[in-house]
Amino acid sequence: MKNLLLLCFLLPIFLFANSEKPTISKIEKVTVYLEGASVERTSSINLLPGENSFIFNNLSPDIDENSIQISGLGDASILSIVFNIDYLEKKEVSEENKTLKSALEDLETEKNEVENVIDGFKQELQLLQQNQKINSDATDLSLEKVKEMSVYYRSRTTEIKNAIYKQYQLITDLKTKISDHQNELLKLDDSKKEQRGEITLKLNSKRPANLVLNIRYNIRNAGWFPLYDIRATNTSSPIEFSYKANVYQQSGTDWENVNVVLSTGDPTTNNSKPILLPRYLNFNNKSYGNAAPVRNSNYKYNPTIRRVTGTVIDDTGLPLPGVNVIEVGTSNGTQTDFDGNYTLDIQGSRELAYSYVGFETETLPIYAGTMNTSLKPGAALEEVVVTAYGASNNDEPDWLAQRFEGKAAGIQIRGTRSLNNSGSLLYIVDGVPVSENEMRNFDDESIADITILKDAATTARYGSRGANGVVVITTKNSEELSISTKEVGITNTRFEIKEKYTIKSNAEITVIEVDNFELPATYQYYAAPELNENVFLTATINNWEKFDLLTGEANIYFEGSYAGKSIINPQATADSLNLSLGIDPNIIVKREKLENFKSKSFLGSTRIIDKGYKIEVKNNKKTPITLVLEDRIPISENKEIKVEDIEKGTSDYNDKTGIIRWKIELQPSASEKREFTYTVKYPKFKKVYL
C-alpha cells in the first residue's frame, strides 16, 4: 500500500517534469550569410523512457520553421518539432536600455519643472500688469508715489523677463539632451522585442539518457556586407588591404559572446537551374523580345546607407539627364541633372529603381553611398493608348495634323487637342528623341502610330523637355527588345572568426576584421576626356582571387590622406583588379574640336560628317608620370552608316570596339598633344547621333 501511494505521488512528477518547465538553451555559434543567418544553440537535457517533451522559449520570432534541425539525439527519435510565436512573453530589456530610459525620464521631469517655473513667472508678470492698471486709476497718488511704483514695476518686470529667458535656454538644452537620448534608444530599439519564438520538441527514448542537443535554425533579418580600407604610401609601395565585415541583425534575440562564421553564400538565392527549351519562329501579329539572362552580381543591401549619390550613363558612356531615381516601395525620388548626377536621401527602402524613356528600368539594392549605373536601350513602343487627358483651349499642332491625318494609310493620331503652341514639342521615335526638322523629313509610310501626350504625368516622365507636349511615334519596322535583370550571388567561402563577439539585436553595426594583407600594384594615371576631363590615379593588382573579395565600398587612403571612396568589383572577368585611387588635380587634360575642320557636307543623297579632336595633356607635378589616355571612334552597326578615313595618329586602335589608346610618359612641367579624325556617311533623310 505504501509503495502504491509513493507511485501515485511520483507519477505526476515523471509525467510533467520535462514538459511544463521551459528548457534552457544557449547560442554557441552563428553563421552569418550576406542575407540571413544560421543560429546554433546547445541544450543539456535528461531523457526518460517513453515520450519526452521540451520547450525552448525566449527565441527569435523570425525563425524559418522549415530550417529547424536537431542533432545529438543518440538513440532517441524525433516525434515532432513545432514552432510557435508566444505573444505574451516579452524580450528582457537590456541594462543599457534601462539606463537610457531612466535618464530620459529624468530629463523629461526636469523639463516639466522648468516649464512650471516659466508659467509661474508669466502669471506673476500678468498680475503685475493688472495691478499697475488698477493703481493708475487712483486719483489720490502723489507724483513721488507714481515714480516709486514705476521704478518697482520696471525693475520687477525686467527681472521676470530675464528669468524667463534663462529658463527657455535651459529648455533648449534639455530638448537637445532628450533628442540625443531618444536617438540612442532608437539605435538600441528592437521591433521584435514584443513577441518571442518558441520551439516545442517531442522525443521518444527507450532508456534514460543525458544528451547535449544541438538546435540549428535560420533567420532572415540579419546579414553582413564587406567594407575595405585601402592604403598606399606612394606609387612605389604595395597596396595595403584591410578587409572588414559589417554585421547587422534584428532577429529579436541578442547574440551574447558567440562564435561567428561569415559566409559569402546567400540562402535567399533561387538555386533552381534554368531549363532551355526549343525556340520556334513564326509569323504573327505581335513581337516577342528576347529575355536577358539572369545576371550574376554580389551587390547586397547595406542598411547603414542614408544618402546615395551617383551618375547614370547610357550604354555608350554618355550621361543621361532626367533619369527618374526612385526608392522602391516609396514616393521618395529625384531626377539626374544635366550631367547625369543625382543625390537622394534614403528613407528606409532596400532598392533603387532607375527609369528613363527609351531605356530598360534598372533596379539595384542600396549597397553603397555612391551608386553609378548604366542603362541599356529598352523596348521600342509598339502602341501607346492615352485616355482622359483634358483638352486645352489652344490650337492643335496644325502641320502635324494636316500632314498625317487622312493622308497616310493606317496612321492614327490621338490626343492632338491636348497640346498648345506655347513652346517646342518633344518628338520620340521608337524611343529615341528627334528634332522637328527631322520629323518633317520622315517617310509617311514608315509610321505605324502617333500618340500625343500632354499632362502632369508626361512632364514627370519626360522631364522639362516634355512640358509643352510629347509626340510619340512608332514605326512599322521598330524592333522590340526586352531586358530584365536580377541580382544573384552564389559562393561558398566561409570566414571563421577567431574571437567571440556579442552582437545585439538593434540598428547598430558590429565591425569584424576578416583579413589584412598586402598586394604589389602597378600605378598609372588614366583619363577619358570625352566623358570626364579629370585624371585618375589607378592601381592594377594581380593575384587578388585568393582573398575571396566581394563587391563593396572601399575607403581610399593615399600618401597618408583620405582620398575618398571607391567600389571593389571582383566580378569583372579581367585577370587583374583595377582600383581608382582618386583624382590628381596636378595633371591637366583638355579635349577640343579641331579648328577650321569641315564638319558637314552632302554628296547626292548622302550626308557626310567630318569629326576631329585635339587632346592636350600637361604634367604640373614635380615627378614624371605614366598616363593612359583613351578616346573612341564610333562603330557602325548598320551597312548604310559608314565610318571611314580614320586618322588615329600614334594611338593603338581596336577596330572591334573603336577604342583608341595612348600611353604617354610625361616629365615634370611637360605637355603633349594628340589628335584623331574620322568621317561618317549615311543617308541624309535619316538621323545618326554623334
Task: Indicate whether 690 belongs to any domain.
Answer: no
Q: Domain residues for 461?
A: 398-475
46 vs 506, which has greater pLDDT? 46
Note whether residue 325 is domain-resident. Answer: yes
Q: How far is CA 331 from the centre of its chain?
A: 15
- All cell numbers assigned to 377: 536601350
Nearest-CA neighbor of 530 among 649, 641, 608, 614?
A: 614
Same domain assignment for residues 592 and 679: yes
Burial class from Cβ neighbours inside 10 Å (0-12, 13-18, 19+) for residue 411 reads: middle
pLDDT at 94 over 60: yes
Number of compact structural domains in the chain = 4
Average pLDDT in the chain: 78
Residue 322 sits in the same domain as residue 405: no
- Rounded Cα distance between 122 and 114, Å, is 12
**Confidence category of residue 432, pLDDT binned at 50, 70, 90:** low
Residue closest to 24 by CA, chosen among 47, 42, 51, 38: 42
Residue ending a domain, choose from 475, 498, 518: 475
**Residue 464, exposed/middle/buried by CB under 10 A (0-12, 13-18, 19+)?**
exposed
604: left (phi over 0), alpha (psi -120 to 50) or beta: left
3-state helix, strand, coil in the chain (%, to 5): 20, 40, 40
* 590-601 average pLDDT score: 75
Distance CA 614, CA 591 (A): 6
Structure confidence by residue, pLDDT tens digits, 511-548: 998 888 888 888 899 999 988 889 999 888 887 777 77
What is the pLDDT confidence band of residue 440, given thresholds at 50, 70 and 90? low
The burial of 164, by beta-carbon neighbours within 10 Å (0-12 exposed, 13-18 middle, 19 or more buried), is given as middle
Q: What are phi and psi of 622, to 5 degrees?
A: -90, 0
18-27, 155-164, 212-221, 591-600 — most confident range:
212-221
Confidence of residue 11 (pLDDT cuts 50, 70, 90): very low
**Domain co-membership, 174 together with 114:** yes
Q: Of 420, 449, 475, which closes a domain?
A: 475
Judge whether 243 lies within some domain: no
In a domain, 574, yes or no: no
Is there a contact between 374 and 313 (Cβ–Cβ < 8 Å)?
yes
Residues 632 and 672 in one domain: yes
On whether both 608 and 679 belong to a single domain, the answer is yes
- How does DSSP assign 524-556, residue by residue? EEEEETTTEEEEEEEEEE-S-GGG---SEEEEE
Domain boundary among 432, 458, 488: 488
103 and 181 part of one domain = yes
Q: Are residues 406 and 465 in the same domain?
A: yes
* Residue 371 sits in the same domain as residue 459: no
Q: What is the CATH number of the domain that holds 338?
A: 2.60.40.1120
542-591 tens-digit pLDDT: 877 777 788 888 888 888 888 888 888 776 656 778 888 888 889 999 99
Same domain, 360 and 413: no
Report the C-alpha gap between 627 and 616 in whole angstroms.
12
315 domain residue, yes or no: yes
Instruction: Please indicate, yes or no, if residue 217 is contained in any of the structural domains.
Output: no
Contact (CB, 8 A) for 601 and 660: no
Are 428 and 370 members of one domain? no
For 444, the 3-state DSSP assignment is helix
pLDDT score at 29: 94
Inter-helix orientation angle 95-136/143-188, to 10° = 160
pLDDT attached to residue 582: 81
Let me know whether 422 and 336 are in one domain.
no
**pLDDT tens-digit readout, 119-138:** 888 888 888 777 766 555 55
Q: pLDDT by residue (tens digit) across 606-625?
A: 888 888 999 999 999 998 99
The CATH number that applies at residue 612 is 2.60.40
564 within some domain: no
Residue 81 in domain = no
Q: What was the pLDDT predicted at 286?
A: 44
pLDDT attached to residue 465: 61
At residue 484, the pLDDT reads 27
The b-or-e profile of 427-452 (16+ CB within 10 A means b, else e) is bbbbbebbeeeebeebeeeebbbbbb
Residue 349 and residue 408 share a domain? no
Q: Minimal CA–CA distance to 289: which of 479, 440, 561?
A: 479
